[in-house]
Amino acid sequence: MTTEIRVPTLGESVTEATVATWFKKPGDSVAVDEMLCELETDKVTVEVPSPSNGTIAEIVAAEGETVGVDALLATISEGAGAKPASAKKATQGAAVAAGSVDVMVPTLGESVTEATVSTWFKAVGDTVSQDEMLCELETDKVSVEVPSPAAGTLAEISAPEGATVDASARLAVISSSGATGVKAPPAPAAAVTPAVATSGAKDVKNAPSAEKAMAQAGISSDAVTGTGRDGRIMKEDVAAAVAAVAAAQPATASLPTPAAAGAPRAPVPADDAAREERVKMTRLRQTIAKRLKDSQNTAAQLTTYNEVDMTEVMNLRSTYKQQFEKKHGVRLGFMSFFTKACCHALKEVPEVNAEIDGTDIVYKNFVHMGVAAGTPTGLVVPVIRDADSMSFAAIEKAIAEKGKRARDGKLTMAEMQGGTFTISNGGVYGSLLSSPILNPPQSGILGMHKIQDRPMAINGEVVIRPMMYVSMSYDHRIVDGKGAVTFLVRVKDALEDPRRLLMDL
C-alpha cells in the first residue's frame, strides 16, 4: 500500500511554498508523525510529518522546488521495500536535444505570464549537477527558483539578470558533453552580480532561502555559521551574520530609496551621482510598494493621540508582580494591562472592532488580539484568540508562549490570522511617538510607546510622572472621530485607574 505525502494547507492567501529541507531520503524507514521535510513560504516555515509508518519510496519534489497547495511531495510504501526514486523530471517544458538540455521558465502560477531574472548562481562554463539551483526568477507574487534539469556544463545563458521573460521562454542550455557553445549575453551595465557561495565545497546543502539571502547580501557561506541539521545554513543564520557585519560597520551607507513610479527624480550634481549606487527594484518589492500604497488609498486612515500616566499601573505591577509570578508561573508585564484595557474599550466602541465587507459592516462580538512581536527575521503579529474572555495571567502566558514561538520561527499561519484589533509596542525599541499603519481588514491599531518621566501639572502642582504617549490609527470609513477619540480615552482611563477594569466601568 502506498501513501501520498502532499503539501498541507499553507494559510489564507498563501498558494505555494519552497521545499527547503528533506530530512529523509528514498529507502529510509519513517514512523508516523516523524518529520519528513520543511517547506518555506514568504511568511512562515511549515513542517510536514509522516501520516503513517513505512519506507520513503519516492521524493517527487526536490529541495529548492516551488510547489502549490496539495501538490505531491513524496510517497511512502507501507511494509514493502522502497521503490527506487524516479528520475526527476526536467524543468517544466524543458526541451532535450542531442547532448544538451534546454532550461525553460517553470510554471509561474495562475494569472502570472512573465517574470524577471533576478539572480544567476552559475556562470557559463560552470559544472552543474542535477537539481542544483541555477537561477532565481521574480514575479509579481513570489520568487521562483530554477533547478538544473540535468548534470553537465552550463553552455549558454539565454536570459541575463534583469531580463523579463514570458512563461514559455528558454533561460539557458545545459551541455551534457561539457562543451560550451554560445556564450552568455552580457548583463545590463547597471546590474550588480552578488558574490555567491558555491555549495560544491560542502557535503550539506544549504537551505534555498539561505542561498538566496547570501546572494542578496553578497556574503560567502564561509562567513556564516549554520545552525541547521548537520551544520546546514538556514535563512536565520544569514540574517544573524548580516546583522553582525552591520554592527561592526555602523557607518555603512544605505542604498538610495528609488523614486515612486511616475515621479521624476530631481537633478543630482555629478559629484554626488558618481558616489551613488543604483539598484533596480525587484518585481516583488515593486509589488509590495504598490500594495502598501493601495492599502493607504483604500482605507481613510487617520491617527489620534493621547498620553497616559502610568503611575497606577506601575505601582500595581510593583506590588503584586512577585505574588503573581509565584502563583501563575509567568511575569506580570504591561501588555496584559493594555490588552485588557483595549478589550474593555472595544465593547463600548464596537465599530473599532469591525471590518468592511463590500457594502456591509461586520461587527465582531469577540476580540482576537494581534500582538506585534519582533523576531530575527522581521516583525510578526501572532493572534491571542478570545482575549476579551481571558484573565491577566492567561493573557501573559499566551503572549509569552506566542512570543517564544515567534522568535523560534515556529508560528503557524493559523496563529497569525483572524485578528480583529492589533497592539504594536514601539516603546521597546525606544519610540517616543508614532502613527502605526492599519493591518487590513482591521479598522484600528493601538501604538504603545516609551515610558518617560515628564513634569505634569497635578492639582495645581508640578510633579514628575511616568508618561506614555499612545496613538490609535483607524479607518475613518467605518470609525468616526468621536468613536476613535472615545476609544483612546477609555484606554487611558482604564490604565490610569486599573480598578475600572475590575468593576467594568
Concatenated DSSP letters of 104-158: EPPP--TT--EEEEEEESS-TT-EE-TT-EEEEEE-SS-EEEEE-SSSEEEEEES
Tell me the Ramachandran region of residue 339: left when phi exceeds 0, alpha when psi lies from -120 to 50, beta otherwise.
alpha
User: To 10 degrees, the CA torsion angle through 122, 124, 128, 133?
Assistant: 30
Q: What are phi and psi of 175, to 5 degrees?
A: -100, 120
Predicted pLDDT of residue 349: 95
Tell me the three cell numbers of residue 218. 553578497
Q: What are phi and psi of 122, to 5 degrees?
A: -130, 155
Structure letter (DSSP) for residue 180: -
Please report which helix (H) or strand (E) contains residue 384, including its range.
strand 383-384
As to burial, measured by CB atoms within 10 angstroms (0-12 exposed, 13-18 middle, 19+ buried), residue 432 is exposed
Please report which helix (H) or strand (E) contains residue 383, including its range.
strand 383-384
Domain 300-503 has CATH 3.40.50.720: no
Instruction: Give the highest mean pLDDT range of 59-73, 143-157, 344-358.
Output: 344-358
DSSP calls for 298-314: HS-EEEEEEEEE-HHHH
- CA atoms of 229 and 206, how far apart (whole Å): 10
Distance between first and last Cα of the chain: 64
Query: One of 42, 166, 294, 480 is an active-site residue; which one?
Result: 480
Pick from 36-40, 93-97, 191-195, 273-277: least confident: 191-195
- The yes-or-no verdict on residue 471 having pLDDT over 70 is yes
CB 139 within 8 A of CB 187: no
Chain segment 287-336, per-residue pLDDT in tens: 556 656 776 788 889 999 999 999 999 999 999 989 999 999 999 989 99
Specify whether 449 is catalytic. Answer: no
Query: One of 28, 126, 476, 497 is an active-site residue; which one?
Result: 476
DSSP calls for 138-149: E-SS-EEEEE-S
- The yes-or-no verdict on residue 160 having pLDDT over 60 is yes
- The yes-or-no verdict on residue 207 having pLDDT over 60 is yes
11: confidence class by pLDDT, cuts 50, 70, 90: low
| CA 405 vs CA 189, 401, 452: distances in Å | 44, 6, 30
- CA atoms of 207 and 41, how far apart (whole Å): 13
- CA atoms of 316 and 20, how far apart (whole Å): 48
Chain segment 440-453, per-residue pLDDT in tens: 889 999 999 999 99
* Unique residue bearing C-alpha cell 516523524: 34
CB 425 within 8 A of CB 335: yes
Tell me the three cell numbers of residue 446. 493601538
Provide mean pLDDT across the span 434-441.
Answer: 87
Residue 312: which residues within 8 A CB-CB, separation 6 or more?
Answer: 495, 496, 497, 498
**What does pLDDT average to over the chain?**
79
Provide mean pLDDT across the span 33-37.
Answer: 83
- CA atoms of 283 and 262, how far apart (whole Å): 16
Sorted by where each begins, the domain ranges of the chain are 2-77, 96-248, 300-503
Crossing angle for the helix pair 392-407 and 335-348, nearest 10 degrees?
120
Residue spans of beta strands (DSSP E) within 7-65: 16-22, 29-30, 35-40, 45-49, 54-59
Q: Are strands 444-448 and 114-120 parallel, antiparallel or unpaired?
A: unpaired
Chain segment 275-284, per-residue pLDDT in tens: 888 877 766 4
Specify whether 271 is catalytic. Answer: no
CB atoms within 10 A of CB 398: 23
CB atoms within 10 A of CB 131: 18
3-state secondary structure 351-371: HHHEEEECCEEEECCCCCEEE
Topology, domain 96-248: OB fold (Dihydrolipoamide Acetyltransferase, E2P) (2.40.50)
Topology, domain 2-77: OB fold (Dihydrolipoamide Acetyltransferase, E2P) (2.40.50)
246: confidence class by pLDDT, cuts 50, 70, 90: low
- CA atoms of 147 and 483, how far apart (whole Å): 55
Q: Do domains 2-77 and 96-248 have the same CATH topology?
A: yes
Tell me the three cell numbers of residue 429. 525599541
